[in-house]
């Protein structure tokens, strides 16, 4: 029972981070109709922005978090202005290759600029054990989870209750009609990319503190899992993406705990293949593209 509870905790915590990155993917895909392959690297940039702030300005948790958000947001906006916007309306492959190129540049640029190896993260939070000797929940795990949940709640509020959120959904449904009714598509795209990037930056700092290191290639891992979550859930309901991400984290943890760690990734891809076979638009449906 202890092992089950422990793996449940592990799964929910990693799942919450998958969810934040997956929501970023889904937001951009919904509004701009492009798969932003640079999104995981924006996450990575936020992680390093936080690391630099923690090393050179202050290792206060909130300072690191704010700089992570600013760093990722700045890269996201630059990407939107110089890659996504000029390529809007062109063949989808061009945007795909464009964002992939930016991803590779960011990855290898950061590896060259900082280090190809993991770099120790500032200790902005004390690591302490919160539960018992048999079930471990560290303070950093708890903070990571809380940060992710707050971000997810925030994005849900934004999409449902704000003017820009309604515009986001309108563009997702019919961009041409939304534009005809006066929705500023450029502005909404910009805000969407900025929001997704800032969320990724904050989550990345939280992950850096949780695992104690930042790595130039960290985006690959989260990008792959988040992409799977978005495909499995579909992009119509962001809450669906969150649910699938949490489930994926828990399934991976339970497979590792009770079957074999060799099959951890097999589980994720098996779910993906099954869902795409039976429900090609995802479990909760997708907007038409």
**130 in contact with other proteins (CB under 8 A):** no
Six-digit token pair at 170? Answer: 């309108």
Q: How far is the CB of 262 from other proteins (least distance, A)?
A: 5
Question: Of these, 103, 200, 218, 244, which contacts other proteins (CB under 8 A)?
Answer: 218
The mark string for 49-88 relative to other proteins (x by CB under 8 A, - otherwise) is ----------------------------------------
117 contacts other proteins (rule: CB under 8 A): yes
CA separation, residue 282 to residues 101, 189, 285 (Å): 27, 24, 5
DSSP assignment of 257-286 equals HHT-GGGHHHHHHHHHHHHHHH-TT-TT--
**Residues in binding contact with other proteins, number by CB under 8 A:** 43
**Binding of other proteins by 266 (CB under 8 A):** no
Point out which residues pair with 213 in neighbouring strands.
120
Quick check: 109 binds other proteins (CB under 8 A)?
no
Stretch that binds other proteins, among 93-101, 150-158, 255-263, 271-279 (CB under 8 A): 255-263
Residue closer to other proteins by CB (options 41, 80) is 41
**Nearer to other proteins (CB atom), residue 80 or residue 252:** 252
H/E element, 120? strand 119-120
What is the CB neighbour count within 10 angstroms for residue 105? 12
Q: CB of 72 within 8 A of CB of 45?
A: yes
Of 92, 97, 105, 136, the one binding other proteins (CB under 8 A) is 136
154 binds other proteins (CB under 8 A): no
Would you give the distance in Å from CA 211 to the centre of its chain?
16
Residue 282: which of 97, 32, 30 has the closest Cα?
30
Question: Least distance from C-beta 7 to other proteins, angstroms?
Answer: 6
Residue 13, both tokens: 């915590």
| 10 lines the binding site for other proteins (CB under 8 A) | yes
Residue 105 touches other proteins, criterion: CB under 8 A: no
The set of residues, in sequence order, having a beta carbon less than 8 Å from that of 251 and lying 6+ positions away, is 11, 267, 268, 271
Complex with other proteins: residue 156 or 213, whichever CB lies closer? 213
For 22, 29, 186, the CA distances from 275, given in Å and listed in that order, are 17, 19, 33
**Contact positions vs other proteins (CB under 8 A):** 2-3, 6-7, 10-11, 13-14, 108, 111, 115-120, 123, 127, 129, 134, 136, 138, 140-141, 207, 211-213, 215, 217-218, 220-222, 252-253, 256-257, 260-262, 264-265
């Amino acid at each position: 029972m202890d092992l089950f509870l422990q793996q449940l905790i592990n799964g929910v915590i990693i799942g919450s981070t998958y969810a934040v990155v997956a929501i970023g993917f889904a937001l951009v895909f919904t509004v701009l109709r492009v798969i932003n392959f640079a999104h995981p690297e924006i996450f990575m940039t936020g992680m390093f922005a936080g690391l630099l702030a923690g090393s050179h300005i202050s290792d206060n948790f909130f300072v690191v978090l704010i700089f992570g958000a600013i760093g990722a947001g700045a890269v996201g906006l630059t990407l939107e202005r110089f890659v996504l916007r000029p390529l809007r309306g062109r063949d989808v492959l061009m945007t795909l290759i464009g964002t992939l190129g930016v991803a590779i540049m960011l990855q290898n640029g950061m590896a060259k600029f900082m280090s190809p190896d993991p770099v120790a993260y500032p200790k902005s939070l004390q690591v302490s054990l919160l539960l018992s000797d048999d079930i471990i929940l560290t303070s950093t795990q708890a903070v990571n989870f809380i940060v992710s949940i707050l971000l997810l709640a925030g994005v849900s509020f934004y999409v449902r209750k704000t003017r820009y959120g309604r515009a986001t959904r309108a563009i997702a449904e019919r961009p041409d009609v939304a534009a005809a009714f006066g929705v500023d598509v450029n502005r909404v795209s910009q805000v969407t990319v900025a929001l997704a990037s800032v969320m990724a930056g904050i989550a990345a700092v939280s992950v850096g503190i949780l695992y104690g290191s930042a790595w130039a290639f960290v985006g690959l891992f989260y990008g792959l899992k988040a992409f799977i979550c978005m495909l499995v859930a579909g992009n119509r309901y962001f809450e669906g993406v969150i649910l699938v991400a949490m489930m994926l984290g828990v399934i991976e943890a339970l497979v590792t705990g009770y079957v074999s760690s060799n099959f951890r990734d097999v589980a994720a891809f098996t779910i993906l293949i099954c869902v795409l076979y039976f429900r090609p638009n995802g479990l909760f449906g997708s907007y038409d593209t």
